[in-house]
Amino acid sequence: MKSYIKSQIEGYGDIVKENEILRKHADKPTNERGEVGKAINRYHPPRLELKVSEIIRETESTSTLRLISPSGYLPPFQAGQYINLFVEINGIRTSRPYSISSAPNQVGYYDLTVRGLQEGFVSDHLLGEISVGDVLSATSPTGNFYYNPLFHGKNLVFIAGGSGITPFMSMIREVTDRGLERNIHLIYGSRFESDIVFAQELEERVRAHKNLIVTHVISEPGKDYSGAKGFITSGVIKNAVNDIPDKMFYVCGPEAMYSFVLKELETMSIPKRKIRVEVFGPPAHIEQQPGWPEHVNPNDRFQVHINKDSHIEAVAGEPLMNSMERMGKSLPASCRSGECSLCRTRLISGKVYQPATVKMRKSDVKYNYIHPCMAYPLEDLELSV
Ligand SMILES: Cc1cc2nc3c(=O)[nH]c(=O)nc-3n(C[C@H](O)[C@H](O)[C@H](O)COP(=O)(O)OP(=O)(O)OC[C@H]3O[C@@H](n4cnc5c(N)ncnc54)[C@H](O)[C@@H]3O)c2cc1C
Ligand code: FES
């Protein structure tokens, strides 16, 4: 039956003949096996070793780690992509994604611009413990938050909050360095004027390039500040940007800023296809997200059984992946924001909460797979890893 079906496929007979000829006359065809994979790995290795060549202080809370390759080779990337940095802190192996803030045309290094959080586990470590000469391990560049010339047009509005400036800085540097034909309007929200990352460079680039406009929006301005104040509302956006309908909007920043700005864009009737978003990590207060069950307190603790042979305790208010890592159970990870599917894990029993931003495939839902980087336990769980 199988061979009958194969014989009905157009061209199948020709392929069989060609294979026979190859087997007879060519070098062993198996010699070629794995060559494609090897070539891909050579240009886009799954793991990179990156050496800190310089640390540049940007603001009081933010520094740039300039990373070079000890082997001399850095995989190319698209402006807007990130790498996932692996670290071991007090015996806990974990990772965090960071967007590359340098331009892709700058092939000698990757810049990662890290903002410290209050008690941020990895950001504190990167800003406090890492020195010039240290070697870090990371994934190759990845992610989908980049310019698509077929669909995005030439008029772009970038809306950044805090450290969310980093992918935009890479795009702005590329467009202005290479003289690309794209008009960019950056609307950049910061808490204080002194919090603005890359303030001077942005000002210089605006002065030198007609196709770049920057509007700063400060939520807690000093008394002499005369620019836009408060949050990035629809009013601020309309005031700053002319001719809304022909623009493509990109939004990047912490979850709270992203949720706020998306609602504002909705009130402006901007279609979803005209908005690209990147969320920087898990929400600060998961219990305030829509759909979080009232009866679960973020401090509640649950038992998580893994592969029937081990178990850990997990806290409701943090991503399951963090609790697992703390107990020495690592999963493959890249985006840590529920997007890339690398960490997908089968949930055998129990309930988790996953925010609406998590990109679940239909098959994930059907066969009960979850993304532990953005899944929060709501009761005792059983996982198959
Ligand atoms: C694609 C992408 C690109 C990014 N690029 C950048 C960048 O260029 N620059 C930058 O500074 N950051 C960037 N980030 C954010 C970065 O990955 C980290 O999330 C950030 O540095 C904070 O990590 P942390 O370990 O210091 O903080 P964490 O300790 O992980 O805390 C971060 C948040 O996670 C939650 N959380 C973690 N642990 C707990 C817990 N025990 N209990 C409750 N809640 C918890 C909280 O909501 C907390 O606010 C990016 C994120 C993504 C997804
Ligand atoms: S690490 Fe990407 S979905 Fe979990």
Cα 322 to averaged position of ligand 2 atoms, centre (Å): 12
Could you tell me the two tokens for 61? 């809370």
Confidence grade of residue 253 (pLDDT, cut at 50, 70, 90) = very high
Cα 286 to averaged position of ligand 1 atoms, centre (Å): 13
From the alpha carbon of 122, which atom of ligand 1 is closest? 25
Stretch 13-24: mean pLDDT: 76
- 165-178 vs 199-208: helix crossing angle, rounded to 10: 30
Residue with tokens 């331009």: 103
What's the whole-number average pLDDT of the chain?
Answer: 93
> Would you give the DSSP letter of residue 287?
G
User: Nearest Cα to 292, choosing from 377, 233, 366, 209?
Assistant: 377
| Percent of the chain at pLDDT exceeding 70 | 95
- Residue 360 in contact with ligand 2 by CB distance below 6 A: no
Stretch 226-249: mean pLDDT: 93
Indicate the pTM of the whole model: 0.90
Q: How far apart are the first and last CA of the chain?
A: 37
Residue 46: predicted pLDDT: 87
User: Nearest Cα to 296, choosing from 357, 213, 353?
Assistant: 353
Cα 319 to averaged position of ligand 1 atoms, centre (Å): 11
Provide the 3-class DSSP secondary structure of residue 76.
Answer: coil
- Residue 87 in contact with ligand 2 by CB distance below 6 A: no
Please, what are the domains in the chain?
44-138 (2.40.30.10), 155-279 (3.40.50.80), 292-384 (3.10.20.30)
Residues with CB under 6 A from ligand 1: 82, 96-99, 113-115, 117, 120-124, 143, 163, 166, 278, 280-284, 317-318, 322, 335-337
Distance CA 219, CA 207 (A): 25
Distance CA 227, CA 70 (A): 44
Pairing of strands 135-138, 212-218: unpaired
CB distance 92 to 326 below 8 Å? yes
Could you tell me the two tokens for 366? 């059907």
Which ligand ends up closest to the CA of 283? Answer: 1
B/e letters for 123-142, b = 16+ CB within 10 Å, e = fewer, are: bebbbeebeeeeebebbbbb
Distances (CA, A) of 149 to 158, 248, 273: 16, 11, 14
Could you tell me the two tokens for 64? 């740039």
pLDDT tens-digit profile of 308-360?
A: 889 999 999 999 999 999 999 999 999 999 999 999 999 999 999 999 889 89
From the alpha carbon of 255, which atom of ligand 1 is closest? 47
- 88 pLDDT higher than 90: yes
Which ligand ends up closest to the CA of 100? Answer: 1
User: Nearest Cα to 98, choosing from 147, 136, 41, 45?
Assistant: 136
From the alpha carbon of 333, which atom of ligand 2 is closest? 1
- Residue 333 in contact with ligand 2 by CB distance below 6 A: yes
Provide the 3-class DSSP secondary structure of residue 370.
Answer: strand
Distance CA 132, CA 130 (A): 7
- 38 pLDDT higher than 70: yes
- 258 pLDDT higher than 90: no
Residue 193: predicted pLDDT: 96
Q: Which residue has the higher pLDDT, 105 or 15?
A: 105
CA 337 from chain center: how many Å? 7
Distance CA 385, CA 382 (A): 10
**Half-sphere exposure at residue 59, Cβ-oriented, CA atoms within 13 angstroms:** 20
pLDDT tens-digit profile of 171-195?
A: 999 999 999 999 999 999 999 999 9
B/e letters for 180-193, b = 16+ CB within 10 Å, e = fewer, are: eebbbbbbbbbeee
Which ligand ends up closest to the CA of 94? Answer: 1
DSSP result, 195-244:
G-TTHHHHHHHHHH-TTEEEEEEESS--TT--SEESS--HHHHHHH-S-G
Distance CA 68, CA 209 (A): 29
CB distance 157 to 171 below 8 Å? no
pLDDT tens-digit profile of 268-323?
A: 999 999 999 998 888 889 999 999 999 999 999 999 999 988 999 999 999 999 99
Residue 348 φ/ψ, nearest 5 degrees: -85, -40
